[in-house]
A and B are shown apart, each in its own frame.
Chain A
Amino acid sequence: MSLPPATGAVELGSFKQHVIRLLTQSKRLDGRPFDSIRVPHILYENRQDTKINRVLASTLYTDDTGTCVNCIVTGVFGPPPPQHPEEGRLTVEVTAPFFPGYSAFQIEGTLHELARFVRSTIISCLDLTELCVISGEACWVLRVELIVMNADGGLRAATLHAAVAALHNLTLPKARLPSGDVVESRCLCFHRIPVAATIGLCGTAGSMQFLLDTNAAEESVADVLLTVVIDETDGIVSFLHHGRFPLLLPHLTDAIDMVASHGAALRSAILKSSNLPQ
């Protein structure tokens, strides 16, 4: 479940063999150690005509090797969902327009899975009742659109970090309902802030190698892929595992500890810019 790596003019099979050969020598393509992460950088954008475009927040997520995700949050008023009248609505869309057209069918399932993952993780960390305006009648409908400009592995973590950076401390503006009621300005806050990382496992000669924060080439050769999402207290928010063979419990706990050791760095990188204006 990953977007195909950008191999340039090299055939994908030869590229995989090259990556496998590097991994047997305990090397990675970008020269990182096996237990290091690519620290994200978040660029915030303050557009001048926010009222016209309904854009509430816009962030650009990048890391050192080229993953680039643009997150745009728009908000309108709408009716609440019938099964939860006291909650607001949150929709997430993930698009990757800059991939070649012949792989559009291949990556569509990946993007849908990404959107479901980001939405479920955000809903578990965000109180949707804060988006309620009038119970049963009106609520904020937030639309999070994630545009994957460049993909270099770790897409779940990248899209989740971009969305969390855009939604944390988001100011819902003062607005007027069609009925004439004035809705006051409100600040959206997470009650726990999730950070995520993708871990790849390669089984070579019976020994298990952990690759923290895999890139696209490593994801194409890894036997097992894990995505771990934790909060500030190192509680597990979400855990995804898929691969060719099952894992034992010590492998899972080692993976969680590996992500937890970098949780503070990831969280400060995501929320660093939003603390400065306050």
Chain B
Amino acid sequence: MKQNGGRETPDGVRYPHIALDVLGQCHSSACVELGNTRVICAVHHPQQLVDEYRGSRGRVACTVRRSASAGSHAAGSAQPSVVTPEKDMSLALEGVAEEVVILEKIPQLLVEVVVEILAEDGGVWDAVATSMSAALVSGGFEMYDLFSACGSALLSDGAVVLDPDAAEESNAQASALVCLMLNSGDICYARHQGSCEPGTVLELVSSAMKGCLSRKSAITTQLINHPIL
């Protein structure tokens, strides 16, 4: 049975396409396409932290912005609200970056990361995490590991699908998301939405972890083959 979006099996994932250094005015940048989802991540030149944040560790600040025409539900919004899903995503990404980037190597420096979601068809977290990892790597920041994310969803017919697209995400009974380091397999962020049994939650999380690790060779190959790195 063919899934939505043409994937052959429920265990199939969409593989990301990574383009590095797409913006000229930033310290480093990356553009990631995952099916019909497109995300651009930019890392600005590090700047000096102000007095109250002075210490032995640097900081990574993250801003996630969604293009108004990226998703169908966002196009109808009249006014940008203060609390948005992008704000939650940026706070979670800051936590992920604090775990992955060796902040002791950049003391008293603020690294500002801006993510722009240009087109969305599910898998936004996957594309955002992959682009942020690629942008930080190409910017020369020392990191423990690469990181990426993958989602899974429980459809209404009881099937567990990996890497759901926008239609599957909106119709899912429950969904899970896992952001983990690619080599060590440590989980940096995990999220579950919806309602299902505890055993199904474990199945969703383990499926997401498998999907995330299955992208590892695609991500590392594209980063290694880049002429700058």
Contacts and interface: CB of A to CB of B under 8 A. Distances in A.
B76 A76 contact: yes
Contact of A74 (B26, B47, B65, B69): B69
B143 interface: no
A116 interface: no
B63 interface: yes
B102 interface: no
A149 to B, nearest CB: 6
Contacts of B45: 100
B69 A72 contact: yes
Interface in B100-128: 112, 114, 116, 118-119, 121
B104 to A, nearest CB: 24
Nearest to B167: A52
Interface size class of chain A, counting residues whose CB lies under 8 Å from the partner chain: 20 to 34
A150 B36 contact: no
Given A49-B36, A98-B42, A147-B67, A54 B72 contact: yes
A53 B71 contact: yes
Contacts of A48: 36
B23 interface: yes
Interface string B32-49: 000010001010110100
Contacts of B3: none
A219 interface: no
Interface residues of B, number: 31
Contacts of A143: 68-69, 75
B220 interface: no
Interface string A17-56: 0000000000000000000000000000001110011110
Contacts of A52: 72, 121, 166-167
B25 interface: yes
A149 B68 CA distance: 15
A98 B29 contact: yes
Contacts of B166: 52
Given A53-B69, A149-B40, A98 B23 contact: yes
B25 A150 contact: yes
Contacts of A109: none
B85 interface: no
Q: Which 4 A-B pairs have the closest CB atoms?
A: A6-B25, A74-B69, A66-B24, A98-B42
20 contacts: A6-B24, A47-B119, A52-B121, A52-B167, A53-B71, A53-B75, A54-B69, A70-B118, A72-B67, A72-B68, A73-B69, A74-B68, A74-B75, A76-B76, A97-B116, A98-B23, A98-B29, A98-B40, A99-B25, A145-B67
